[in-house]
Amino acid sequence: MTDQAVDSADRVATSNAVPATGQFVGRRRELKALRADIERAGLDTLAGRKGARPRVLLIAGRPGSGRSALARELAAQLAGDYPDGVLRARLTGPGGDRVPAADTARELLGLLGVPAPAGAGEDELTELVRGAIGGRRALLLLDDAADAGQVEPLLPDASASLVVATSTGPLTGIPDVRPCTLGGLDTGSAVELLKQAAGAVRITVDPRTAETLAEECGGQPAALVLVGGWLATRPKLSVADVTKQLWSLPDEAEEPKAASRPLARAFRFVYRSLPQSAARLLRLLALAPAGLVDAHTASALAGCSVSAARTTLEEFTTLGLLRGTDGPQFEVPGCLVPLLTELMETQDRPAEVQLARARMLERTVRLLQSCWAITEPDDSVIRKKLAGLPRSLRFTSAPAAAEWLRLRLPALLASARLAVADGELDTLARRLVAALVRALAAHRGTDAAAPVLYGLHQLVLGVAERRGLHRERAAALLNLADLDAECGRTREALARYKAALDAGRSAHDPYATGRATESVGGAYQELRDWDRAADWYGRALAHRQARGERSEESRLYGRLGTVHSYAGRYGDALRSWRAAVAGYRRLGDLSGQARALSELARVQEYAGHPEESLRTCTEAVEWARRADDVRLQAALYLRLADTLDRLGDSAAAQLHRGSAGRLLADSKSTYEIRGTSAED
C-alpha cells in the first residue's frame, strides 16, 4: 500500500500515513553515507558503461529501528533534486504479509496520474510503472521490502531516478547495492528522542538517568517512543522512577519472538500499565484491516461506544502505541502488530476473537450502506432506511461520505479480503462486498472504480469456486467479463461469459443464463464474427421468448437486425427489425417503436430501397412525436434530409434540416446537431 508521496520539491502529500510528530533526530552518519552512496561509481561506470538503471540505496534494520523514518528524512532532504516527485510504497503489510506486486503497481500508478487498466496483470502493471517513471527524474521509496523480488520489477530502465528501499536484510539479486545497516541511536540522539516523547524538563534536569534509560531501551527508536509516551502521561514521576520500574521488570521465560528484546520489553512495560478494558482493545487492534483503525472499528472490536473508543485511541497515540494519520483514523505501527497478535492469541479465547471480528465487519457493512445511501434521492427507499440508523452511522453529506471512502479504502479492501479469507462466502461477506461495490460505483462511477471493482469480483469468484457456489460464481464471472469487455479484452470477456453461462445453468439461474447467452453474442459481434453473433443472439431470443419477456424479446430482435446488417444480410435484417417494431407496438412503447422504425429505414436504404426508407422514416418521425422524444425527432429529420439529398431533392432536405434545428432550439438543447444519429 502506498502511504506517502512527496509530490513536489518542497511539499509532502500524505495518503494513509503521516510521519511521526516531532523533528527527525540523529542518524547524521547514516544520512551522510547514504548521500555519498548516490554519487559512488557503480559497477557499470567502472566498466566504462553508463548505468542503465537507477541507483538503489538500501536501509536495513529490524522493525522499530527507525529505518522508515530515516528513509523519509532522506527523501525530504533529496526532494529538491528530483523535480518529478518522490513516491512511497509499502511492500509488506502490518501483519508481515507481502503486498501483491499488482496492488503496489496500481497505487504507484495512481500517484503518477496514470490510469491502471481494470484487470491488468502484474506484469502489465509493473511495466506501466517502469514506463511512467522511466521518463522522469523521481525518487521511489519502497518501504519494508521482503526481498529483491518485490523491488526489481519496479526499477525503471533509466538512470535519472533514485530508489530508496528499506528491509530487514540485504536485497540479494539486485546488483551494486550496499546496505546501510541500522543499530541503536547514539546516546545523545536517543536522549533527544526521549525529550520529544516525554517533554524536555524532566529529561534536562536529570541527564545522566536519561542516558541510562536510553541505554536500557537499546537506543531503539520505537522503544524510546513507548517509554517516553508512558512518562508523558505521568507528569509526577521522574526519569529515575521510570528507569527503575523498567529495569525491575521481570524477564519473560522465553526470548521475544516478534521483536527485538528492547522493543518487546518497552512494549510489555507500557502494556502492563493499561486498564484491563484498554489492554483488551489494544490486543484486538491486531485485527484492524491494513493496520488502520478508526473510532468505529475500535468501538465494534471492543463492544463500547464510539466516543469511548475514540478517547482510548487518542490515549494510545499519546503512549506511542498508535500513530496519527491525515484523517480521523490511526495506524498500528507494524513493529507492534506481531506483539499484539501474540498477546491476543494467548489471552483471548478464539470464540471472542471471532465475535469481535464479526462485529467489526458488520459495522463496516452498515457504514458502507450509509455511504452509498447518502448519494440516493431524498425520497428513495434506501434514504428512508438510512434515517433509521443511529446518528453515529450517518454521514452529514455526500462529500463527507466520499472523503470517508477515500481515507478508509485500504482498510475497506482489507476488510473484504478478511471476510472471505477462510473460504466462507457467508451472508456477511456477501453483504460487505456488495455494499463496497455500490459505494465505489456511487461516489466514483463504474469506469473510475473499475480497477478496484475488478479485484473485488475476483475475490468473490475465488471463494465461489472453492465453495461450489454456482450462482455467486456466475455473477462474479459476468461482472469480470463486463469489465474485460470495457477494457478491450474481448476474447478474455468471451471466455468468462461462456463460463458464466455454465455456472448459471448449474445454478438453474434464468437471469444469469439469459444475460450470459446474450453477452456471448455481444462479444462475437465485437470480434466481427457475425455468424456466431447471430447464432448466440438467436439462442438468447429463444430464452427470452420461452420466459415471456416481451421487452427483452423486442430488444434482441434489434440486436439480430444489427448483426445481419453488418453481415450484409439485408433480408434477414429487415425481418428482424420488423419483428422488433411489432414487439414494441404490442408493448405500447412508442419511443422504442420509433427507434426500431428508424433502424428499419436505415436497412431499407442500405438494401437499395430509398423510397421505402423515406416512408418508414416519416412514420418513425410521427411515432417519435407521439412519444414526445424531441431528440429522436430531430435525428430522424436529419436522416430524412440525408436520404433526400441522395435522391436529388435538396430543397426538401433543407426543409427537414430546418425542422430539426427548430425542434432543438425550442427545447433549448445544447448538443451538436450535425452527425447525430437515431441511436444517440
* Coarse DSSP helix, strand, coil percentages of the chain, rounded to the nearest 5 percent: 65, 5, 30
pLDDT digits (tens, 9 = 90+) for 584-600: 999 999 999 999 999 99
Lowest-confidence segment of 16-30, 96-110, 406-420 by average pLDDT: 16-30
Q: What is the pLDDT of residue 422?
A: 67
- Residue 409 has a pLDDT of 93
- What is the radius of gyration, based on Cα positions, of the chain? 32
Residue with cell 458488520: 362
Instruction: Give the pLDDT confidence score for residue 135 in this predicted structure.
Output: 82
pLDDT tops 80 at residue 514: yes
Closest CA to 430 of 403, 469, 381: 469
CA 629/CA 616 separation, integer angstroms: 17
Mean pLDDT is lowest, of 108-112, 339-343, 512-516, 566-570, for 108-112
pLDDT at 566 over 80: yes
- Reported as a pLDDT band with limits 50, 70 and 90, residue 2 is very low
pLDDT in tens, 540-549: 999 999 999 9
Average pLDDT rounded to a whole number, residues 396-418: 92
- The 3 state secondary structure assigned to 617-650 is HHHHHHHHHHCCCHHHHHHHHHHHHHHHHHHCCH
- Whether the CB-CB separation of 607 and 564 falls below 8 Å is answered with no
Q: What is the mean pLDDT of the chain?
A: 87
Q: Coil, strand, or helix at residue 294?
A: strand
Residue 501 pLDDT greater than 70, yes or no: yes
DSSP letter string over 219-255? T-HHHHHHHHHHHHT-TTS-HHHHHHHHHHSPPPSS-
In whole angstroms, how far apart are CA 439 and each of 412, 560, 594? 11, 36, 37
Residue 331 — φ and ψ, nearest 5°?
-115, 130
Higher per-residue confidence, 575 vs 417: 575
Residues, the chain, total? 680
Instruction: For the beta carbon of residue 433, count every other beta carbon within 10 angstroms.
Output: 25
Q: State how far the alpha carbon of 487 is from the alpha carbons of 119, 120, 269, 450, in Å.
A: 8, 9, 55, 9
- CB atoms under 10 Å from CB of 331, counted, come to 20
pLDDT tens by residue, 638-671: 888 888 888 888 888 888 888 888 887 766 544 4
Q: Is the pLDDT of residue 677 over 70?
A: no
State the Cα–Cα distance between residues 131 and 129, nearest whole angstrom. Answer: 5
Nearest to 320 by CA among 442, 222, 411, 402: 222
The conformation of residue 92, written as its DSSP 8-state character, comes to B
pLDDT at 285: 96
Classify residue 97 by burial, with Cβ atoms within 10 Å: 0-12, 13-18, 19+: exposed
Say yes or no to pLDDT of 411 above 50.
yes
Q: Which is nearest to 25 in space by CA: 263, 203, 192? A: 192
Counting Cα atoms < 13 Å in the Cβ hemisphere of 150 gives 24
Contacts of residue 622, defined as CB under 8 A and 6 or more positions apart, other chains included, come to none
- What pLDDT does 44 receive? 52
Q: How far apart are CA 329 and CA 678, in angstroms?
A: 51
pLDDT on residue 563 = 96
**Mean of pLDDT values over 93-108:** 87
Q: Which of 434-443, 503-512, 649-658 has the lowest mean pLDDT?
A: 649-658
pLDDT of residue 9: 30
pLDDT of 279-325, one tens digit each? Answer: 999 999 999 999 999 999 999 999 999 999 999 999 999 999 999 88
For residue 249, the 8-state DSSP code is S
Q: Grid coordinates representing 492? A: 478474455
Predicted confidence at residue 225, as pLDDT, reads 93
The predicted model scores a pTM of 0.81
pLDDT for the residue numbered 673: 39
pLDDT (mean) for 626-639: 86
pLDDT at residue 425 in the model:
57
pLDDT over 50 at 270, yes or no: yes
Closest by CA to 619, choosing from 646, 644, 598, is 598
Q: What is the mean pLDDT of residues 396-415?
A: 93
Share of the chain above pLDDT 90, in %: 56
pLDDT of residue 41: 58
* 617, burial (CB in 10 Å: exposed 0-12, middle 13-18, buried 19+): buried
